[in-house]
Amino acid sequence: MDGISAPHLYPKQMEVLKFLKQYVRKYQSMPKLKDIAKALNLRANSTIHQHLESLEKKGLIRRGRFNNTIEIVEKDFDFSDVKDVHLLGYIAAGKPLEAIEDKTNILRISKDMYGSKDIFALKVKGDSMIDAHIMDGDTIIVESKTTADEGQIVVALLEDYSATLKVYSRDKKNKKFVLKPMNPKYEPIVTDKLYIQGILLGVIRGY
């Protein structure tokens, strides 16, 4: 049977699911919480429960409501069908903030979500894009590009090297760039110069 495409999985969620599969394959039974904790160096049961809850919401496991059992729903999940995406830091959906680059954090997503595009991820800080359904704390997936079309949501670097997430447009009459927020309490950013870093492709939101 062909493996299914992977949903969005953070590294620790991937580790938990891999461990469950390997444990079942070896022992023909599901591990207890203490087994998961020992194998993955997780000290708090609450942390394990959070990971299991996330995997259940993504349709990969099913948990018993009363006897704490776990069942792997999709046994043919294909771990090779994921792409590592660098989570580079924060992007301002509000006032611009200093650009942060940190390639130590990795987000794993399905390869068929964005094909072979050169992509990266950023965490959103602020509420200036709420009318575009982008909330504080969301993770955005961005295609690395240096140009954009009118109306696209871009990651832009300003002249002072602060970074922001806004709707891109040009004021051709005055030869200005305009970065428009999607929240009426914020004013557009109008500037002579900016550097486009990428185009918004998607949003990942945790519950």
Count CB atoms within 10 A of the CB of residue 34: 10
Q: Do 92 and 60 form a contact (C-beta atoms < 8 A)?
A: no
Count CB atoms within 10 A of the CB of residue 76: 9
Q: CA 40 to CA 192: how far, in whole Å?
A: 51
Q: Do 4 and 17 form a contact (C-beta atoms < 8 A)?
A: no
- Could you tell me what percentage of the chain is helix, strand and coil, using 3-state DSSP and rounding each to the nearest 5? 25, 35, 40
Q: CA 180 to CA 200: how far, in whole Å?
A: 14
Active-site pick, 34, 117, 166, 176: 166
Active-site pick, 80, 110, 111, 128: 128
CA angle, 149 as apex, 146 and 152 as ends, to 5°?
95
Amino acid at 123: K
Q: Is 166 a catalytic residue?
A: yes
Q: Is 46 a catalytic residue?
A: no
Catalytic machinery residues: 128, 166
